[in-house]
Amino acid sequence: MQPYELSLAEAADAIGSGQLSPVELTESVLARIEATEPLVNAYATVTADSAREQAAAAEREIAAGRRRGPLHGIPMALKDLIDTAGVVTASGSAVRAGRIPDRDAAVAARLKRAGAVLLGKAHTHEFAYGLTTPQTRNPWAPDRVPGGSSGGSAAAVAAGSATFALGTDTGGSIRVPAALTGAVGLKPTYGLVPREGVAALSWSLDHVGPITRTVRDAGLVLEAIAERGADSPGPEYGHGDREGRYGDGAGGHGDGGGGYGISVGGGLDGVRVGVPSDYFFDRVDPQVEAAVRTALDRMADLGARLVDVQIPLHRYIQAAQWGLMVPEATAYHAAQLGQAPELYGDDVRVLLEAGALLPAVDHIRAQRARTLMRREWHGLLEQVDLIAAPTAPATAAQVGQEAFGWPDGTAEAVADAYVRFCAPANITGLPALSLPVGFDRQGLPIGMQLIGRPYGEAALLGAAAAYEQEFGPAPRATVDAQAVDAQAVGAQVADAQVVDVRLAAKSS
């Protein structure tokens, strides 16, 4: 196994034990970037020289006994919306071409303090206003999209060209690309992770979170970037118990001397998992449904109680999502759109111009709908501990594909389809995580979404980690392979009765 193939937790353990150095790890990942970028194009900017300097500095600190924690010396990518001092941050747009911030975004500063090594900036759909990230290709199949808008971040993690990455999520933009590339994507509770220095799409829907190879890794990154204590934002929810750790090791606060990751505790035994009887299984690819229902059966085998639930106010979810997002995005871009509309891509410009035509009363109605939805979802999550459902109704679309066709004969635009199952957690601000649970017949990954209670990240991660501990993370995409080792994909495919997989992980 090459160092780039290690998960964050595995790499942290190896660095902590002296079996691997930050320089060795960073050089391996940089070599992987060089090998995969011609096909994947996950990065807008690669800062190789700076990464080598940061890795060497981390190596010296660790050798001197000043290890900062599990992220120290770990190479990462940041979405091109997240400000980085001295490094171009263009938000994937000609509008900000060449823009170099003079200070780090809050999350970038926290990761820097934790000792993480910045590899570069990952591609985003322009200003995060899209679900495909057209610059980037899916590592599992280069004729497929990686999802968006954090497609570059997810593609880098899936390809092994970043050990972890940060993305943003306004309507699924962390979870959708994670699902489409076989990664883990966590959208935290609204306000738990600071957004200062991150370009906005929709202020009331935007979230920042990690994309990683494993659930354990997501917990370790969240530990480093989450707010702490009574100064945390997010007045929509009470502060609650935020002092609990998301990793069972050092987090961002020192070495701690133990292993890293999530404590699975009692696993899934007795956990009440809500299974929607409507909405989340409407207009969904049969292969996606089969894989998710197999994963639900596995959760039951691990002791979970599956409880049928109905999704409240589901008729209004998409209207509320677009009613909130579109005018807020237009307000953010109003000045620049008026001065130089030609600098925006056609797809984004049309949406921004449409937002100017939306009546204010519709935005008010969307806000009222959100208030009602939040109340109803909180009531639902008093009956169960979490909700489990598909992350996206289909696997990765072909590059240039405009719509999906469903078994009932209807068609749906790709962006609308990808937003549909993710929007509830953005509207309500609830934490949600996507983890890989199988593959379709073309060898494309399938994700299952878990939605939890406000500030219930520890429980959400624990449940996902219990599943992952039993069935393993997704194999690593080979990027250039056309065949698979059937054993690498394993029971994920067989149990879902999904066969003829064409891609798999590089064997270790």
Task: Give the whole-angstrom CA distance, residue 140 versus residue 64.
Answer: 41
First to last CA, the chain: 4
Q: What is the CA radius of gyration of the chain?
A: 21
DSSP 8-state assignment for residue 205: T
Task: Give the whole-angstrom CA distance, residue 220 versus residue 260.
Answer: 7
Closest CA to 309 of 369, 383, 198: 383
Phi, psi dihedrals of residue 337, rounded to the nearest 5°: -65, -35
Question: What one-character-per-residue DSSP string does 447-508 give?
Answer: EEEEE--TT-HHHHHHHHHHHHHHH-PPPPP-SS-----HHHHTHHHHHTT-------PPP-
Give 89's Cβ-side CA count (13 Å radius): 22
DSSP 8-state assignment for residue 439: E
From residue 97, alpha-carbon distances to 17, 337, 344, 405, 498 in Å are 42, 15, 11, 37, 44
From 173, 202, 232, 434, the catalytic residue: 173
From 149, 161, 232, 434, the catalytic residue: 149
DSSP 8-state assignment for residue 165: E
Instruction: Pull the structure tokens for residue 137.
Output: 């290709």
Report which residue type is found at 432. Answer: A
Task: Give the whole-angstrom CA distance, residue 136 versus residue 140.
Answer: 12
From 7, 21, 28, 79, the catalytic residue: 79
The answer to whether 153 is a known catalytic residue is no
Beta bridge partners of 84: 87
Task: Give the whole-angstrom CA distance, residue 500 versus residue 482.
Answer: 12
Closest CA to 217 of 33, 72, 7, 477: 7
The answer to whether 112 is a known catalytic residue is no
Judge whether 123 and 135 are in contact, CB under 8 Å.
Answer: yes
Task: Give the whole-angstrom CA distance, residue 120 versus residue 431.
Answer: 27
Residues forming the active site? 79, 149, 173
